[in-house]
């Protein structure tokens, strides 16, 4: 197993090219199931979760393995010959549940291992199933698998989400595009990744409007063509690099992304005292004065993203005063806190609220990554800590950040991947 070694203390300076968004690429790759033709998907980030997605598609007969070159994937929808996402794959990536909508829409049958609990929360799929049931699917849960049937096809419906779940919005949207008739989906997720999925589906001939707002309207069509789509940039990767720059009192520019994708995170960085400037396809954050504390609540888009909560927490250990972060999306997303404390942070947790006292002097230690964003948080902290920080279980990081050591080294970080002893 690999670990990261970071020698802290260097101010980061320079420019980083942002990769395609993991959380946009995953549903878009699954959307290729909807067509009997070839789809070309560009700007796919090279990540462990993408490899898992390719394995799921391969197990459905789509023959995608080894076709990823220069971030471009070709998926041939004509060879679909199965309808099951097995436990071995779903248990390594919950997003595999996104095959439900496309398989029900195209084949009228889908079988997916029920995802178990997850490090950051229980993460049930009840909203996904409720919405697909409204479209006429029926489900049974047996032997750890969800099996869905819609032998006569799906039928458009009016659906109200009790919460704007990202995954449920994606599954439902992919089901509605081939359903018979019109659908109206209310209180949906508005994340940029949903908008990117809608753009990809429209390029296949789907009739969708309203993405990015609270209501999406879909008029089902009989069949879809393949897509040729470039995945949108990763706003979480971009914001992570900006935090890393500020944490080291440096100046970092992220390119290939515009500020509209991540306004809430940028507003908080400005509020903390960073100097933010942007062009149509780049954003720069510069450390100009001691950081001021923040009061942050994670929320569905356009609110502050839960996927940036851990990275901001690392940053706020350097703000002068008491910051509060409330996590409202996941019930167990503070697992980085004890690890940050090992590096010298002063953080107290009460329920879903963390109080961070700063500024503290961080010092290097051996810490354990517990999930993807926790890994990024520990890297950010390690970059500012005195001495050496070792981050174990770095495989979490490889699920969602493409070439992070190379990108950080390029802007002056001392970060090395080595074999864990
Ligand atoms: N929820 C339910 N029932 C459902 C679906 C969701 O109760 O049927 C709850 C979840 O348990 C959670 C909350 O609703 O407490 C939010 O879940 P959501 O469905 O919105 O999230 P997701 O689709 O499972 C995606 C991202 C996550 C990101 C969340 C929130 C992908 C592949 N994953 O997950 O990304 O944190 O949206 O923005 O898009 C990450 O990249 O590190 C990551 C965890």
What's the pLDDT band for 117 if we cut at 50, 70, 90? low
Q: Which of 344, 395, 388 is nearest to 366 (CA)?
A: 388
Looking at residue 122, what is its pLDDT? 76
User: For a pocket test of ligand 1, which of 47, 162, 167, 305 has the largest count of ligand atoms closer than 8 A to its C-beta?
Assistant: 167
Looking at residue 1, what is its pLDDT? 85
Residues enclosing ligand 1, CB less than 6 A? Answer: 23, 26, 95, 121-128, 163, 165-168, 189, 305-307, 329-330, 372-373, 400
Distance 170 CA to ligand 1 centre (A): 11
Residue nearest to atom 5 of ligand 1 (CA): 125
Q: Which of 103, 101, 96, 100 is nearest to 80 (CA)?
A: 103
What's the pLDDT band for 114 if we cut at 50, 70, 90? confident
- How far is 420 from 403, CA to CA, in rounded Å? 19
Q: What is the share, in percent, of the chain residues with pLDDT greater than 90?
A: 92
Q: Which atom of ligand 1 is nearest to the CA of 331?
A: 15
- 116 has pLDDT over 80: no
Q: Which of 253, 235, 397 is nearest to 304 (CA)?
A: 235
Can 377 be counted among the known catalytic residues?
no
Q: Which pLDDT tens digit goes with each residue over 277-336?
A: 999 999 999 999 999 999 999 999 999 999 999 999 999 999 999 999 999 999 999 999
Looking at residue 359, what is its pLDDT? 98
Q: Which pLDDT tens digit goes with each residue over 340-373?
A: 999 999 999 999 999 999 999 999 999 999 999 9
Q: Which atom of ligand 1 is nearest to the CA of 167?
A: 23
Paired strand residues for 298: 304
Q: Which pLDDT tens digit goes with each residue over 175-190?
A: 999 999 999 999 999 9
| DSSP alpha helix (H) spans, 332-403 | 337-342, 372-384, 395-398
Enclosing H/E stretch for 54? helix 48-59
Domains of the chain: 2-18+233-419 (3.65.10.10), 22-230 (3.65.10.10)
Single out the catalytic residue among 118, 176, 243, 377.
118
Q: Which pLDDT tens digit goes with each residue over 186-230?
A: 999 999 999 999 999 999 999 999 999 999 999 999 999 999 999
Which residues, in sequence order, are CB contacts of 301 under 8 Å at separation 6+?
A: 189, 190, 191, 192, 264
Task: Tell me which DSSP letter residue 12 carries.
Answer: P
Q: Which of 324, 368, 353, 257 is nearest to 18 (CA)?
A: 257
Which of residues 2 and 239 earns the better pLDDT score? 239
Q: Which pLDDT tens digit goes with each residue over 5-30?
A: 999 999 999 999 999 999 999 999 99
**402 neighbors 46 (Cβ within 8 angstroms):** yes
- How far is 123 from 205, CA to CA, in rounded Å? 32
User: For a pocket test of ligand 1, which of 97, 262, 329 has the largest count of ligand atoms closer than 8 A to its C-beta?
Assistant: 329
Note if the pTM is more than 0.95: yes
Looking at residue 160, what is its pLDDT? 98
Looking at residue 66, what is its pLDDT? 54
Q: Which pLDDT tens digit goes with each residue over 29-71?
A: 999 999 999 999 999 999 999 999 999 999 999 976 556 668 9
Looking at residue 155, what is its pLDDT? 98
Residue nearest to atom 43 of ligand 1 (CA): 307
Q: Is 264 helix (H, G, I), strand (E, B) or coil?
A: helix
Distance 293 CA to ligand 1 centre (A): 27
- 237 has pLDDT over 80: yes
């Amino acid at each position: 197993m690999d670990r990261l070694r970071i020698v802290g203390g260097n101010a980061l300076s320079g420019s980083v090219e942002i990769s395609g968004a993991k959380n946009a690429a995953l549903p878009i790759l699954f959307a290729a199931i909807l067509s009997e033709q070839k789809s070309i998907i560009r700007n796919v980030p090279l990540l462990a979760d993408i490899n898992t997605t390719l394995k799921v598609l391969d197990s459905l007969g789509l023959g995608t393995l080894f076709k990823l070159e220069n971030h471009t994937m070709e998926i041939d929808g004509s060879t679909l010959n199965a309808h099951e996402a097995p436990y071995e794959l779903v248990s390594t990536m919950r997003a595999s549940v996104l095959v439900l909508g496309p398989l029900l829409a195209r084949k009228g049958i889908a079988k997916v291992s029920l995802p178990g609990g997850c490090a950051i929360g229980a993460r049930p799929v009840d909203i996904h199933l409720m919405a697909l049931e409204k479209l006429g699917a029926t489900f049974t849960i047996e032997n750890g698998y969800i099996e869905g049937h819609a032998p006569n096809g799906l039928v458009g419906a009016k659906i109200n989400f009790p919460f704007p779940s990202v995954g449920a919005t994606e599954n439902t949207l992919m089901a509605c595009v081939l359903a018979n008739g019109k659908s109206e989906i209310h209180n949906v997720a508005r994340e940029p990744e949903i908008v990117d999925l809608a753009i990809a589906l429209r390029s296949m001939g789907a009739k969708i409007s309203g993405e990015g707002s609270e209501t999406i309207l879909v008029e089902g069509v009989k069949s879809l063509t393949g897509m040729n789509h470039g995945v949108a940039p990763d706003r979480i990767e971009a914001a992570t690099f900006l935090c890393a720059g500020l944490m080291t009192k440096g100046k970092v520019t992220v390119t290939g992304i515009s500020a509209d994708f991540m306004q809430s995170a940028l507003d908080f960085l400005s509020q903390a005292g960073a100097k933010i400037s942007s062009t149509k396809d780049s954003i720069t954050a510069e450390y100009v004065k001691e950081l001021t504390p923040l009061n942050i609540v994670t929320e569905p888009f356009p609110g502050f993203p839960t996927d940036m909560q851990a990275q901001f927490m690392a940053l706020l250990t350097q703000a002068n005063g008491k910051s509060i972060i409330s996590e409202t999306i996941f019930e167990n997303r503070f697992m980085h806190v004890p690890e940050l404390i090992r590096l010298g942070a002063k953080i107290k947790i009460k329920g879903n609220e963390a109080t961070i006292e700063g500024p503290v002097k961080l010092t290097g230690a051996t810490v354990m990554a517990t999930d993807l964003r926790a890994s990024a948080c520990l890297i950010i902290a390690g970059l500012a800590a005195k001495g050496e920080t070792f981050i174990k279980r770095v495989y979490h990081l490889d699920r969602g950040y493409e070439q992070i050591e190379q990108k950080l080294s390029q802007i002056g970080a001392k970060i090395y991947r080595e074999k864990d002893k």
